[in-house]
Amino acid sequence: MNQLDRIVKALAGMPCDALLLSSPISRRYATGFPSSAGIVLIHQGGGLYYTDFRYIEAARQAVPNFEVALLPSGRSYNDVVNDLIARYGIKALGYENMYVTAAQKVKFDAELKAELYPMDDMLDRLRAIKAPWEVENIVRAQRIAERALEETLPLIRPGVTEQEVAAELIYRMYRYGAECQSFDAIVVAGENSSKPHGVPGPRPIKDGDFVTMDFGCVVDGYCSDMTRTVAVGHASDEMKKIYDLVLQAQLAGLAATKADIPCTLPDKAARDIIYAAGYQGCFEHGFGHSLGLEIHEEPRLSHSSKDILREGTVVTAEPGIYLEGRMGVRIEDMMLVTKDGCENLTRAPKELLIL
Ligand code: ZN
Ligand code: ZN
């Protein structure tokens, strides 16, 4: 079933006649076509996609299952939506209340001639369950990231800076087919590695440092995400201890992951190991997150989640231990949730590597 059919099917169970998708991410999800401007309207009979002159030729070629039309000059998207409201007799129109700005909502209220119905997280819930072709795109992005890492590891040595390592990873991801990065690559060394989302800077790597690299790229719109932490020169007993604990915690979280469980369980399995070893307060982010068209999607694998994990979701497994001002370790894989467990989509080795 393609995305349009999935959305039409979901619409049938909603108290509205049509859905107005105005955010770039939802337009892309519905049509498969990336654009910075346009609207998608989905009704029980199918989908319409209006965009402007910059995109119209490509959209006509790329979105065969939608009625694709050019925004007439001098008319606004709200004018077009009103035409469609009249054409299809739409009384209640679903809108993306979690995406539209307060200013857009004021205009919707003033201009659109239908009752507006908030869609809440309806599309997020659809997006959480990946089709096989979506998983393939994520895996293609991941293989590119792994190739970039494999070629970058030999370049990591004392004197090389965090920024230089980040540049090597990023260059290689583009070179091997990435559209862009999933997010700005994190490369942090030594005492900087205690900052989970630190920014790569001019700090040279030193003997005895941990270097944490968290990075990913995008292929056909889909993100990958991985983290590896390596030691340079040598690893102290404490470094080996916390690395091993993070790895054991990650493996416990992976073992706890399967369909139809509360999203809190993998987090608890990993957190229990880290806390039992005396590292309370040193792992204060969630165990993982879903990803796909966006790097962070719902549901999250965190201690506060209220969601149930579903088969076909792609989630990360990324516990860490961060000792403020001294060092940090994070190991992150991506997994596809299956009925009885999960399939690890990450192939890069994760034993402690001392370069
Ligand atoms: Zn990551
Ligand atoms: Zn992540």
| pLDDT per residue as tens digits for the range 60-98 | 999 999 999 999 999 999 999 999 999 999 999 999 999
* CA distance linking residue 266 with residue 39, whole number of Å: 38
Q: How far is the CA of 2 from the centre of ligand 2 (A)?
A: 27
Q: How far is the CA of 302 from the centre of ligand 1 (A)?
A: 15
* CA distance linking residue 117 with residue 254, whole number of Å: 39
Contacts of 150 (CB under 8 A, 6+ apart): 348
Which residues of 54-170 form beta strands (DSSP E)? 67-70, 92-95, 115-118
Q: How far is the CA of 192 from the centre of ligand 1 (A)?
A: 16
For 30, 131, 151, 264, the CA distances from 339, given in Å and listed in that order, are 26, 15, 35, 17
Nearest ligand to residue 212 Cα:
1
> Which stretches of the chain drop beneath a pLDDT of 50?
none
Q: How far is the CA of 102 from the centre of ligand 1 (A)?
A: 31
* CA distance linking residue 15 with residue 355, whole number of Å: 59
**Exposure pattern of 224-262 as b/e (b: 16+ CB <10 Å)?**
bbbbbbbbbeebeeebeebbebbbebbbbbbebbbbeee
- DSSP, collapsed to helix, strand or coil, labels residue 227 as strand
Q: How far is the CA of 296 from the centre of ligand 2 (A)?
A: 7
Nearest ligand to residue 315 Cα:
2
Q: What is the pLDDT of residues 177-208, one digit of tens each?
A: 999 999 999 999 999 999 999 999 999 999 99
Q: What are phi and psi of 47, to 5 degrees?
A: -130, 150
* CA distance linking residue 35 with residue 23, whole number of Å: 10
- Asked if residues 141 and 216 have their Cβ atoms less than 8 Å apart, the reply is yes
Nearest ligand to residue 295 Cα:
2
Q: How far is the CA of 347 from the centre of ligand 1 (A)?
A: 15
What pLDDT score does 20 carry? 98
What pLDDT score does 1 carry? 74
